[in-house]
Structure 1
């Protein structure tokens, strides 16, 4: 089946993805399930992250500032996404912290009512460049003190003695933090997924993020079920979870059911495997949204 055909039937598949793996597991889960919580919502620039359809993020992938700005100018007026992720790790001059701070101000001014997320994805978690924890923290400190943006992605497994103060600094300045975890070769157990997201919440994240690579369809179901469990019973912040690669594409479309409040799409080049074209993704999200309210 071609990807576009698969996407077209995504709405029908979404409901199947969250079925418990066995009747016994479902019964055990029902017996021990804590009460459901109110939906966590983060409202920024009139965008309610955690209400309605998952909000769509488009990442940049270019290596030059000029190309990044041209890309932003090309898509800023589109109505089919809510947030731009400025990926810093592909940039040739990312070591120039002053230039990076200036770039964030330029991008922010071009986005209007869209949100701006800044991310340096380290090579250890799927990014383009390796960087020491100290340099990582120094770059983020410069962005917080001289840049302009709405959200900052911090990898939860960087040195917390360096990154936790950044969370406090961000909140002092009215900025918001995504704490993230990326498993590039496997999918953790549901218990481990919930434990990581819960740790992110305890550390003060405003959005809780986990991405994992599936080895088969059962891993996609594990991530979706863990997301739903976290959303219903433990989360006090919006979630952003995904199963990566071609096998995990369904997880990028089913957030309104599973509780993942954000999803990534591509316009041009993808920043990660499994991303779907923004127009195709929008169609499926709308189908799911209408179907769940019919």
Structure 2
């Protein structure tokens, strides 16, 4: 299913619906009312607009006293939820007592209450047509297994709208990032205010982009580990990492396509840069299984550009309409731009420039031929034959180095070595490969990346014959490979330096503006 967000938003505006600022709601789960009061204050300080008080988390509960206390002491609007186990909550008691407590919350001054669609008719019968004007009823449906089709979701929203709801709430589970497109679509078409999200890591973008597609509110946890649902970001990340308050219908979406992708520092880098100049864009992590399916689904001009990381750089090339000749030679794309004029995808590769420049800078202080450059004639060993490996092998060859490719699978190493006119090794052969001293080693695999920081692609005893060792991994900044290389006397170049170098060109392609190089260096100096 293709998602044309821009045209859908324009239809909304033309219909006079407009768009209010999406609120941030802090879900509060605590054992006691005293703990809940403490969390209320933290929610206020964190920048939340309202709090969801999860009554089902309380170990003991005196409805009239406790609800009155919470309303009286809360300086933010209150949403009361008393979630039963059959809808993913913790309450497993008498159903009438549960509904009576929510009815009481309405009478005592709650701003919102959440009622599950399955019991809304029973709840409505308690009201006898008398609903406090102040209180809005959110009628909700939660699906912890998958995200249904657009037709099924539309039917669900219609049933909630017909139930007497003031606000619709639907939460599904994203098995694939493309599932979220269906959530965006039904959000744009809802006749009532709607709270919508896809849970899980692959559904994170549904929460970050809530203001773009018009969700009434987004849930943000006070801290990691206190999530009330899978995939919930922190309020701090929403506000300060993703610039949540600055996202609107016209905001352009950029992001990093990868698997895994949660470790990436790209959102920090680009979003801080966007905010520094008031650029109307947001950069988000995109946990993608199938690149072709992702690009086909999010085909609107609003999804304007993507960085590509492991393992999708080669697949990205195959799915671009046009490819830069150098990227074609490398056989991998790490940057995709959607052309505004015709929507076609243009792919290029900025990896090799960032990495080779960083390595050359690291070699400046070592003996080399000043005419031919620091890489000319050097044996340059590349670990890995994927997209980044291809970029490094190509870049080293262009600089006059003798390229050697080492890979876990020898056949893949041989394929890449043949392309660049180099030599191939299996990863196991690295430990005995030392034809000369002063060689250069470049790891382009994910070996040693968090959380597996104790791993290394090359044994320490093999590192003494290298004058410089580079690692594309930048989380952690100093990997085991780099630490052991430094202990062996080699110069080291971190993945952070490559990351910054390749980001310059991507930023300029994304925005059409000069890259703020000093800002990039300042941001990344903290990591």
Is the shorter-chain TM-score for this pair beyond 0.5, marking a shared fold? yes
- Give the corresponding residue for 1:111: 74
What does the per-residue CA deviation read over 1:167-205, in whole Å, with 9 as the maximum and x for residues that have no partner? 665624532100000001111211221222222222221
Residue 272 of structure 1 deviates from its aligned partner by 1.0
Q: Which residue of 1 aligns with 2:113?
A: 152
**8 Å Cα contact 1:76/1:111 also seen in 2:** no
Aligned residue pairs, count: 245
Tell me the distance in 1 between the aligned counterparts of 2:93 and 2:14.
40
Pick the aligned partner of 1:288 from 247, 259, 265: 247
What is the aligned counterpart of 1:273 among 195, 211, 230?
A: 230
Distance in 1 of aligned mates of 2:117 and 2:171: 12
In structure 2, the residue matched to 1:122 is 84
Aligned to 1:51: 20
2:54 matches 1:87: yes
In the aligned structure 2, how far is the partner of 1:225 from the partner of 1:159? Answer: 25
Matched, 1:20 2:2: yes
Q: C-alpha deviations, 1:130-166, integer Å up to 9, x for none?
A: 2443333222233334x33111100011262x21234
What residue in structure 2 maps to residue 191 of structure 1? 151
Q: Decide whether the 8 Å contact of 2:139 with 2:169 is kept in 1.
A: yes
CA distance in 2, matches of 1:210, 1:275: 15
d(CA) in 2 for partners of 1:39, 1:167: 30
* Cα 1:168–1:56 shift into 2, 3 Å: farther
* 1:244-259 matched pairs, under 5 angstroms: 244-259=199-214
Larger of the two Rg values belongs to structure:
2
Partner of residue 217 from structure 1, selected from 177, 182, 185: 177
**For 1:166-205, what aligned pairs fall within 5 Å after superposition?**
166=126, 171-205=131-165
Q: Distance in 2 between matches of 1:282 and 1:152?
A: 25
Secondary structure of the structure 1 residue equivalent to 2:51: strand
CA root-mean-square deviation? 2.8
Residue 264 of structure 1 is matched in structure 2 by 219
Distance in 1 (CA, whole Å) between partners of 2:194 and 2:132 is 22
1:73 to 41, 56, 75: 41
Match of 1:134 among 72, 96, 117: 96
1:200/1:73 CA distance change after superposition, 3 Å: same
The answer to which structure, 1 or 2, has the higher relative contact order (CA under 8 A, 6+ apart) is 1
Query: Residues of 1 paired with 2:247 and 2:74: CA distance?
Result: 28
> What is the deviation of 1:251?
0.3
Whole-angstrom distance in 2 between the partners of 1:187 and 1:290: 23
**Aligned 8 A contact 1:167 1:177 in 2:** no
Structure 2: stretches of 5+ with no match in the other structure:
252-278, 281-527
2:64 is equivalent to residue 101 of structure 1: yes
